[in-house]
């Protein structure tokens, strides 16, 4: 402790040091000497949604665990201006409320929240009364957590023993059996979250009576709640930034910096796609495959032949690993780094969960559908290119592999304008089956990131039970892979040299 320095002054010095450290490290590590804009966390969330929504004016609702100090913000935007109307500050947080229950149910906090959402339809809302005791819905935009049931302020855990006593059972150990009790708690937690979000959306509309709502923040990835807010709330249109979690704040921060420095809008229309990541150049893929000696089909001059071959495999009940073009930005696979299958096959969900994704069997798979046919099969009256809301399945075709236990699905609508190769695949499948829909899930194994590079795809293909791998214009069948591919490095990309060593074994 420095003599003569008050506690308030020490706090001010520490705050300044923490605030300036990122800028100092940027300059030190990169040598950059130009201007640097520092953008508030929740402003970045808000900007990431509003500036890419295509709306000329909107209300903005951001909800996450915590960012700097706020956890929830209510804003209004018109033209270039975003004005914050109200906020809720840490430690009161809807994100931390849901994360505490995620931890109680035995899933990883800040990672497994979507599992709670997926588990909820299997349960009954038997514990809504108890869960409501965890959070008090206040006037206006306010709400308060009951910290009797949370442990994150005093301990290195999200929930307290009082929560176990309230629910009448200890928290579930990770990896242990999921019982009906856990399903009922998940359903109750999801319903209470939806109640609070819906109440706050209505409050925001009273403060900013627009037809348009933008949402961002990790909680905005709860697609079930999003759908309910749109259906039952006062707003007519909803835009959720596809990378709504913290990864997407880079987009918002860049947009704010652009507005500040140029005085112009960073985008003139709604965000059409998020194929913004790395790609695998076709010639590089060819060179790698040729060097390996693996047998593969080359369709560089026959795109229609590739599509016909893959559709034949899908109709035969095979599972396809699909890598094409630039990788998607955000947590959803949207036809660039996907696992694909026939959604009409009742065994496909269990098969992919057990043998490919190696994940919990309660988790649903999503459909990708040609936008021009979406209304025939789903209760959806607008495009949904980013899989950010759920709706009911109304298809005349039985779709057991993509229909959740409650009859819902998280839909991706596909057009040739944004992903021509994927749209063409759906079109070819439709021509041969009268079904314009495919099961589409992310190309990864449990606990691993979505594949990015050619080597990621090969390593995952080798260790999975996927029957066919498509990388750009090339197709590899499982029967043709070298034995060494089944032992490629787990959970990381490998270099070409390491790959060739494996291939020559």
Confidence of residue 126 (pLDDT cuts 50, 70, 90): very high
Q: Is residue 341 part of a domain?
A: yes
**Structural domain for 128, as ranges:** 94-262
Q: Looking at residue 155, which CATH number applies to its domain?
A: 3.30.420.40
- Is 203 among the domain residues? yes
Residue 232: pLDDT over 60: yes
- Pick the residue with more confidence: 217 or 9? 217
- The answer to whether residues 218 and 290 belong to one domain is no
Inside any domain, residue 67: no
Give residue 5's pLDDT: 55
Last residue of a domain, one of 262, 295, 326: 262
Residue 392 covered by a domain? yes
**Does 213 share its domain with 346?**
no
What local confidence, expressed as pLDDT, does residue 99 receive? 96
Give how many domains the chain has, as a whole number. 2
> What pLDDT is attached to residue 78?
97
- Does 213 lie in the same domain as 166? yes
Q: What pLDDT is recorded for position 353? A: 82
Whether 234 and 301 share a structural domain: no
Over residues 437-495, the pLDDT tens digits come to: 999 999 999 888 999 999 999 999 988 889 999 999 999 999 888 777 766 654 444 44
Same domain, 208 and 348: no
* pLDDT value of position 67: 81
Whether residues 309 and 457 share a domain: the answer is yes
* Percentage of the residues of the chain whose pLDDT score is greater than 90: 77
Tell me, yes or no, whether 196 and 129 share the same domain: yes
Does the residue 358 lie in any domain?
A: yes
- Domain assignment present for residue 75? The answer is no
> Does the pLDDT value for residue 166 go beyond 50?
yes
Give the pLDDT confidence score for residue 491 in this predicted structure. 43
Whether residue 161 sits in one domain with residue 130: yes
Query: Do residue 229 and residue 371 come from a single domain?
Result: no
Contacts of 231-238 with CB under 8 Å at 24 or more apart are 232/198, 233/198, 233/201, 233/202, 233/205, 234/201, 234/202, 234/205, 235/59, 235/201, 235/205, 235/210, 235/211, 236/211, 236/212, 237/55, 237/211, 237/212, 237/213, 237/382, 238/212, 238/213, 238/214, 238/389
Shortest CA distance to 383 belongs to which of 365, 397, 368? 368
| 409 lies in some domain | yes
Q: Which of 231, 262, 293 is the last residue of a domain?
A: 262
Q: What percent of the chain has pLDDT over 70?
A: 92
454 with 331, same domain? yes
Is the predicted pLDDT of residue 142 greater than 90, yes or no?
Answer: yes
Are 257 and 292 found together in one domain? Answer: no
Residue 14 resides in a domain: no
Same-domain status, 345 and 477: yes
Tell me which of 262, 297, 314 is where a domain ends: 262
């Amino acid at each position: 402790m420095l003599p003569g320095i008050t506690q308030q002054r020490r706090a001010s010095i520490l705050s300044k040091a923490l605030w300036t450290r990122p800028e100092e490290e940027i300059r030190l590590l990169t040598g950059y000497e130009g201007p640097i804009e520092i953008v508030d966390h929740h402003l970045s969330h808000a900007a990431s949604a509003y500036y890419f929504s295509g709306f000329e004016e909107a209300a903005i609702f951001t909800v996450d665990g915590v960012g700097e100090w706020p956890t929830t913000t209510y804003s209004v935007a018109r033209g270039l201006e975003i004005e914050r109307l109200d906020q809720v500050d840490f430690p009161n947080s809807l994100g931390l409320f849901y994360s505490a229950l995620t931890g109680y149910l035995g899933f990883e906090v800040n990672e497994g929240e979507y599992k709670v959402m997926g588990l909820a339809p299997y349960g009954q809302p038997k514990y809504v009364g108890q869960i409501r005791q965890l959070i008090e819905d206040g006037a206006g935009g306010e709400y308060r957590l009951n910290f009797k049931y949370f442990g994150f302020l005093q301990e290195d855990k999200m929930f307290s023993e009082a929560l176990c006593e309230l629910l009448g059972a200890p928290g579930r150990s990770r990896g242990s059996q999921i019982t009906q009790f856990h399903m009922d708690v998940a359903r109750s937690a999801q319903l209470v979250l939806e109640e609070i979000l819906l109440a706050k959306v209505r409050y925001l509309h009273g403060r900013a009576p627009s037809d348009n709502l933008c949402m961002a923040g990790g909680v905005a990835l709860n697609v079930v709640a999003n759908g309910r807010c749109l259906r039952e709330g006062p707003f007519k249109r909803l835009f959720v930034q596809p990378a709504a979690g913290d990864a997407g704040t880079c987009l918002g921060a860049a947009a704010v910096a652009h507005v500040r420095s140029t005085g112009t809008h960073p985008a003139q229309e709604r965000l059409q796609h998020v194929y913004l990541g790395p790609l695998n150049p076709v010639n590089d893929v060819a060179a790698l495959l040729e060097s390996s000696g693996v047998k593969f089909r080359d369709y560089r001059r026959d795109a229609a032949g590739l599509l016909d071959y893959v559709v034949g495999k899908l109709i035969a009940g095979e599972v396809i690993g699909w890598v094409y073009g630039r990788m998607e930005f955000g947590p959803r696979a949207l036809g660039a780094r996907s696992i694909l299958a026939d959604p009409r096959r009742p065994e496909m969900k269990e098969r992919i969960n057990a043998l490919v994704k190696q994940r919990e069997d309660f988790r649903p798979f999503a459909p990708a559908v040609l936008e021009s046919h979406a209304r025939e099969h789903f209760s959806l009256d607008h495009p949904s290119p980013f899989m950010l809301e759920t709706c009911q399945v109304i298809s005349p075709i039985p779709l057991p592999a993509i229909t959740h236990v409650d009859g819902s699905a998280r839909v991706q609508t596909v057009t040739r304008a944004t992903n021509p190769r994927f749209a063409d695949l759906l079109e070819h499948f439709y021509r041969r089956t009268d079904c314009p829909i495919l099961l589409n899930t992310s190309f990864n194994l449990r606990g691993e990131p979505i594949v990015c590079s050619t080597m990621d795809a090969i390593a995952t293909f080798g260790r999975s039970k996927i029957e066919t791998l498509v990388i750009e214009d090339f197709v590899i069948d499982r029967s043709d892979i070298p034995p060494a591919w089944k032992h490629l490095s787990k959970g990381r990309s490998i270099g070409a040299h390491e790959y060739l060593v494996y291939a020559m074994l």
